Amino acid sequence: MIQGTASSAGKSVMVAALCRIFRQDGHKVAPFKAQNMALNSYVTAAGGEIGRAQVVQAEAAGIAPTVDMNPVLLKPTTDSGSQVIVMGKAVTTISAQDYYKYTPNLLKTVEEALGRLRAEYDIVVIEGAGSPAEINLKAREIVNMRTARLAGAPVLLVGDIDKGGVFASLVGTLELLDEDERRYVKGFIINKFRGDVSLLGDALEFLEQRTHRPVLGVVPYFRNIRLAQEDSVYLDERPPASDGDLNIAVIRLPRISNYDDFDPLEAAGGRVSYVTQPAELNNAHLIIIPGTKSTVADLDYLRRSGLADAILARARAGTPVVGICGGYQMLGRRILDPGGVESPQKEVAGLGLLDVATEFEPEKSTRQVAAVPVLDGGLLAGTKDERLNGYEIHMGRTSGPDGRGVFRICETPRPAGYADGAANPEGTILGTYLHGLFHNQGFVRLFLANLRRYWGLEENGSPAATSKDQEYDKLADLVRGSLDIPRIYEIMEKGMG
């Protein structure tokens, strides 16, 4: 099991790396995280919703993601409440205080999911959440030491040295654990180090002498490996937009979700920025309103921040705008919520850039889909021969004069053949429910070529994209070269014996 001294210490990436390494070494391996809190989620082939990190880890392990890998997912709806998704399906929306009264009901679900994975795979690499030493949560948590005990799993504790204070964090975490919990911690990993590792020699020796546990390695800080991120904290740490000829402005909504939708745009030569100020839209070649867990609340944010007026002004001046999922809903004229599914407001005005209206429904649509473009003009010119793979996660139905369909859904686990999306007559304002749209390489190349042509930029093609497998192999090479992998195998073999 991989636990960390804090959120964003690098647990998810370390689990992905170990999954890849163990797979390379010939083992059948799967990831597991009992409970995840994230707005970036994914839909499995069976239609279940899980956290994005477990999808990345499953891909690194060379297997298809399933809901057993993340049996409990929390999607924050407010600062103190979340939608609770159990085994891939939304079951309730609950306050944080009430959730911790609810967690005992989830332990059996967690145990059964973990048991199925352990029966099928040689190795299960478990990820913790936040810190195992949060005193206010320890008695009620189901994702750190309680899971370690359940699995009888030795724990490797990861600390982030880039933020400073890593040695105090590692020692302090160990000190705050109960005596029975401490015995699970079998070693440390120092993560995100910049510089000469030899300079850490005395400090590493001190840590080992103080705790009687080995430091299993120091992993360098990296920027050149592309992995889908799950936590919006990443947007605070994200490096500046890369050099590219297209300025793509993604609105950073307070409850932004599935922002990994836009990673391929950067890989294909776009300069992607996540913006919070109206002035940041002035030089944009494309504005994207992304998905959100709270469409009405984030639409209100757009208006209060001045971003709504700036988006409308840029769109009237000819700047293309794309809305994905909740962003698509915002582009319409009205959002109706007669049943109070998302908000007490029964009706709110949208941005009015598309002549459609959305009505929220109690049942969430979660499914993988295949689609083909039906609009052959504007930003989608020449794309009609592309077959697209993506997924839907939404609780609304959108229709209207502009909503005759940008895409035709040709394959789903349910009856297919329905239309998705809306566009203005020029094909420069687009809305769709398709997450993962830009992960289709042929489509994204044509889309960006159309955008360059629209702005009169040189059609210089797009850089060759590396495959996910290449990125996971790069990650495994980096981590294998940084950690004492034979020692980790020894720890696993010995277990808690």
Q: Interior CA angle at 232 toward 229 and 237, to 5°?
A: 80
H/E run at residue 405: none
| Structural domain spans, the chain | 2-226+471-494, 242-455
Q: According to the model, what pLDDT value does residue 284 have?
A: 96
Q: According to the model, what pLDDT value does residue 230 have?
A: 62
322-336 core/surface letters (b: 16 or more CB in 10 A; e: else): bbbbbbbbbbbbebe
Out of 19, 325, 394, 439, the active site residue is: 325
Sign of CA dihedral 233, 56, 129, 184: negative
Out of 19, 285, 394, 435, the active site residue is: 435
The class of domain 242-455 in CATH terms is alpha beta
| Neighbour tally for 183: CB within 10 Å | 12
Q: According to the model, what pLDDT value does residue 224 have?
A: 83
Give CATH superfamily name and number for 2-226+471-494.
Answer: P-loop containing nucleotide triphosphate hydrolases (3.40.50.300)
Q: According to the model, what pLDDT value does residue 239 have?
A: 59
User: Which tens digits make up the pLDDT trace of 22-68?
Assistant: 999 999 999 999 999 988 899 999 999 999 999 999 999 999 999 99
Residues with Cβ < 8 Å from 188, sequence gap 6 or more? Answer: 156, 157, 158, 159, 170, 207, 211, 213, 214, 215, 216
Cβ atoms of 323 and 300 closer than 8 Å = no
Which segments in the chain show pLDDT lower than 70? 229-243, 414, 460-466
**pTM: predicted TM-score of the whole model, two decimal places:** 0.87
**Is residue 410 annotated as a catalytic residue, yes or no?**
no
Tokens of 69: 């890998």
User: Which tens digits make up the pLDDT trace of 230-250?
Assistant: 655 556 665 555 667 899 999
**Is residue 27 annotated as a catalytic residue, yes or no?**
no
* Topology alike, domains 2-226+471-494 and 242-455: yes
Spatial CA neighbour of 393 closest among 44, 71, 34? 44
Q: Cα separation of 367 and 246, whole Å? A: 32
Residues in the chain: 497
Q: According to the model, what pLDDT value does residue 309 have?
A: 97
Strands 185-193 and 215-220: parallel
Q: Cα separation of 431 and 376, whole Å? A: 15
